[in-house]
């Protein structure tokens, strides 16, 4: 199905065969990234934060190592293969800690049979998961819409978006890493009915995240050309690419505070023991806004 996906998501690419190959190479990430998320959530719930914190180091090592090994015979396909290898490494760095945690934990006593039938229990679980899945799909689909709108633009537009997004979102990632440590605390407080403790913790996290991301966004806006020049301007990446990428970075930086607040607040909604569709609906509205504003914006201002 890779050719159909590429044709649907990026119809303007001059070389779709290359995109098809890269899509197939990264297809394993559907499984590996799901396992990464499961392992990270389980370890954080047990108060183990170091193994989940190392996953992106392993991810980058996998990408860089694979590129160094395969760049001559495979070219840019080596980067896609590196993503697949990095996904596997992210699972492997967490698996030993998770296995030890599961083996060392106390065995819970037998529980009385629940009054609901098995079918009712499965429906309840699906009802709890569905809002999270819908929210995640809508949030990730924003990137797909951006790339779809950029595919008919001149060569390099998608690369400028990719480079700019990766660099501009670093302040957001740093701020949300601080909030991630609080997620199990908020979940336990809500489960115990202590909404006041959860509120105080969330307010503190929001303030800290806002300070970090605003400082980072200001730095990105002020020094975008220099940052891009130092990181990327070599080889085929020239001065015009630096200018275009820096301009996109500054636009991304304007939305960092909002994206950070979404990432921090959504943890509160999903910590509750009941399905809440408000985050998914809000993200769906944002998805529509991205598409509506992106069509004329891409025609007027490019990437």
- pLDDT tens column, 51-93: 888 888 899 899 999 999 998 899 889 999 999 999 999 999 9
Above pLDDT 70, what percent of the chain?
Answer: 89
The pTM of the whole model exceeds 0.75 = no
Enter the DSSP assignment of 153.
S
pLDDT at residue 122 above 90?
no
Query: Domain map of the chain by residue range?
Result: 1-102, 145-290
C-alpha–C-alpha distance, residues 81 and 65, integer Å: 10
Residue closest to 141 by CA, chosen among 297, 285, 299, 296: 285
Give the three-class secondary structure for 156.
Answer: coil
Q: Do 43 and 49 meet the contact criterion of CB atoms below 8 Å apart?
A: yes
What pLDDT, in 10s, does the model give residues 154-170?
777 888 888 888 888 88
CA angle 48, 269, 117 (to 5 degrees): 85
Q: Please write the tens of the pLDDT for every residue from 48-59.
A: 878 888 888 899
CA 184 to each of CA 41, 66, 169, 268, 289: distance values in angstroms, whole numbers, following the listed order: 9, 35, 24, 10, 32
Three-class secondary structure of residue 242 per DSSP: helix
Closest by CA position to 286, among listed 89, 87, 141: 141
Task: For 213-248, write each residue's pLDDT tens digit.
Answer: 999 999 999 999 999 999 888 887 888 889 999 999
DSSP 109: P
Closest of 261, 72, 19, 47 to residue 269, by C-alpha? 261
Residue 195 confidence (pLDDT)? 78
**pLDDT tens, position by position, 259-292:** 888 888 887 777 666 667 888 888 889 888 888 8
State yes or no: pLDDT of 128 exceeds 90.
no
CB of 230 closer than 8 Å to CB of 249: no
């Amino acid at each position: 199905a890779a050719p159909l996906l590429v044709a649907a998501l990026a119809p303007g690419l001059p070389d779709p065969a290359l995109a098809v190959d890269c899509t197939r190479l990264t297809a394993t990430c559907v499984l590996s990234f799901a396992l990464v998320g499961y392992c990270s959530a389980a370890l954080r719930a047990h108060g183990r934060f170091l193994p989940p914190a190392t996953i992106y180091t392993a991810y980058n090592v996998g990408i860089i190592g694979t590129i160094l090994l395969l760049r001559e015979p495979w070219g840019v396909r080596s980067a896609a293969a590196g993503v697949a290898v990095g996904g596997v490494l992210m699972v492997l760095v967490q698996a030993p800690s998770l296995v030890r945690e599961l083996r060392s934990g106390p065995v819970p006593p037998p529980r009385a049979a629940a009054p609901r039938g098995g079918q009712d229990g499965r429906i309840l679980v699906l009802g709890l998961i569905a809002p999270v899945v819908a929210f995640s799909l809508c949030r990730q689909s924003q990137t797909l819409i951006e790339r779809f709108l950029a595919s008919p633009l001149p060569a390099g537009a998608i690369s400028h978006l990719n480079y700019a997004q990766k660099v501009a979102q670093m302040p957001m990632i740093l701020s949300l890493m601080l909030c991630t440590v609080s997620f199990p605390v908020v979940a336990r407080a809500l489960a115990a009915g202590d909404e006041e403790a959860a509120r105080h913790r969330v307010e503190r996290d929001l303030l800290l995240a806002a300070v970090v991301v605003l400082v980072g966004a200001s730095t990105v806006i002020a020094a975008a050309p220099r940052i891009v020049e130092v990181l990327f301007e070599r080889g085929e990446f020239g001065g015009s690419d630096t200018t275009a990428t820096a301009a996109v970075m500054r636009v991304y930086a304007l939305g960092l505070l909002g994206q950070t607040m979404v990432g921090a607040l959504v943890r509160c909604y999903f910590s509750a023991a009941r399905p809440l569709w408000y985050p998914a609906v809000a993200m769906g509205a944002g998805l529509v806004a991205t598409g509506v504003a992106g069509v004329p914006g891409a025609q007027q201002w490019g990437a």
